[in-house]
Each structure stands twice: as C-alpha cells, then as structure tokens.
Amino acid sequence: MARMTTQYDNTDAFRGASFTSATFATAKFRDCDMRQVKIVDSLLVDVNVSGEIRNFLVNDVDVTPFVEAELDRRHPERVQLRAMRSADDFRAMWDTLERLWTETIARAEKLPEAARHERVDGEWSFVETLRHLVFATDAWASRTILDEPTPFHRLGLTHTGYPAADAAALGLDLGARPSYAAVMEARADRMALVRGIVGSLTDTGLARTCTRAPAPGYPEEPGSVGGCLRVVMDEECEHRRYVVRDLAVLEARRPG
C-alpha cells in the first residue's frame, strides 16, 4: 500500500473505529480523546504517553500507581498540592511554587534568548508556557475569584483546543511573538496578583462561591475560591514539570 501522510484535526471520524494490521509508526496524537482504547498484540517500543492517565493497563498490569508514585518522587510539590486544606496550606503551596519557579527561571536565563523561544518535540517553548500561565491566572484568579469580566492580557496563550476566534474576542494575540522580557513582565504581575490573593486568604474565604466562568465557552458551573486556586496551582506545578523536562533537552543541545 502507498504511504499516506494525512493530518486529522478536530474530528470524531475515528470514534468506535477498529484498526487491524495497521501501522501508526511515528504518528502523533495530541489533545485526543482516547478513553477505552484497546491495543492488542501490537508493538509499543519507544512510545511516549502523557496526559491524564487513569486505569492504564500494560500487559494486564495497571501502571498508573507506579507512574504517579514516580512523578511524586521527582516532584514532591504534587503531594503538597493534593494535601492542601487550609488557607495556610495554600499560602505554603504558593511559597513553594514561587521558590521553584525562581530556580527554574534562573536556569532558563542561562540559555540564549533564542532557546527560550525554542520548542522541544513540538511542545510549547519556555516563553509560550509562561504565556499560558498568564492566561491561566487571568482566567482562574482575576476572572473567577476577583470577578473581573475582561482581565485578559493580550499575550496570554489559551490551551490548544480553545477556538482561535473566541481567543481573539478576549483580546488575545495568539500569533504574537513577544520578547522574553515582555512576557516576564506580564508573568511577574500575575504572580504578584496570586500572592495578594493567598496573602489575605482565610479558611472561610476558601469556601466562597465564584459564579463567573474562567472564560467564555467554559462550563457555567459555580466553583469555590479554593477550587479555582487549586486549578491555578495545578497549572503551575504541571507546566513547570514540562518546562524542566524540556530545559534538560535544550541544555544538552548547547554543550559547555
């Protein structure tokens, strides 16, 4: 059979499909719904899987607990995040995140400016990751907790599945190519904003209901201040994990 290279975006054409004696060598799946996928008698060598993983069986063994335990060992801040209950816990967690990001920023700044804009294996660059965290703070802190209807910085970067037209309506410039310094200015402002929120946080305040959705198109479901802060901090944890992974690659590309 002739080899065919095709790209499928935003499609449900393969829902319930069955593939037999097919090759997916070098294929890439990004932001795909692969729940209840079953792979039988197949070659899975040099495979890289990331995302929300639960009940993931490999040769009838659920490897999820092993993966989670190893991630917790490498990134103990994940354990601290899950354990948050009181306002003091949230403040301590933000202290940890500020410290970790200070270390990570210092590491990134040892690289040339161009490297901070460089993507590793198609993932967001360091600068793009910071832009996304600006958006996450605007959405889950400024808009939900502080009830600001349009808090979005134009350099914010939405998650990849968010419609480009909706992002533009929020005033976001997804095609912008800002300098590292410009993004860091926005990032520092958002970090200070969260510091202000957690600094005055009380246990009672954690339970206060936030009625505004993070952004148009998100489910209109009321959440608590604590729940919204947990999303912000989870974003900070997980995206820093990706950044640390990619920084190691960028550093290896530049000997000495």
Euclidean distance between CA atoms 110 and 116, whole angstroms: 10
Q: Which residue has the higher pLDDT, 122 or 208?
A: 208
Q: Is the pLDDT of residue 109 over 70?
A: yes
Q: What is the token pair recorded at 166?
A: 């909706």
- 3-class secondary-structure state, position 224: strand
Q: How far is CA 32 from the centre of its chain?
A: 15
Average pLDDT, the chain: 94
pLDDT at 21: 86
Q: In the chain, pLDDT over 70 holds for what percent of residues?
A: 98
The topology (CATH level 3) of 75-252 is Four Helix Bundle (Hemerythrin (Met), subunit A) (1.20.120)
pLDDT in tens, 164-206: 999 999 999 999 999 999 999 999 999 999 999 999 999 999 9
> Which of the four pLDDT bands, split at 50, 70 and 90, describes residue 85?
very high
> Which of the four pLDDT bands, split at 50, 70 and 90, describes residue 256?
low
> Which of the four pLDDT bands, split at 50, 70 and 90, describes residue 1?
very low
pLDDT in tens, 209-243: 999 999 999 988 889 999 999 999 999 999 999 99
pLDDT at 230: 98
Are the CB atoms for 241 and 123 separated by under 8 Å?
no
- 3-class secondary-structure state, position 57: strand
Q: What is the token pair recorded at 178?
A: 């800002």
Backbone angles phi, psi at 104, to 5 degrees: -70, -40
Q: Work out the average pLDDT over 67-76.
A: 97
Euclidean distance between CA atoms 253 and 204, whole angstroms: 49
| Helix (H) or strand (E) segment spanning residue 110 | none
Q: Which residue has the higher pLDDT, 195 or 34?
A: 195
Least confident interval from 2-11, 13-22, 246-255:
2-11
Q: What is the token pair recorded at 190?
A: 């958002």
Q: Work out the average pLDDT over 56-82.
A: 96
Q: Work out the average pLDDT over 24-33.
A: 86
Question: Closest by alpha carbon to 184, among 237, 127, 239?
Answer: 127
Q: Work out the average pLDDT over 129-145.
A: 98
Question: What are the boundaries of each domain within the chain?
Answer: 75-252
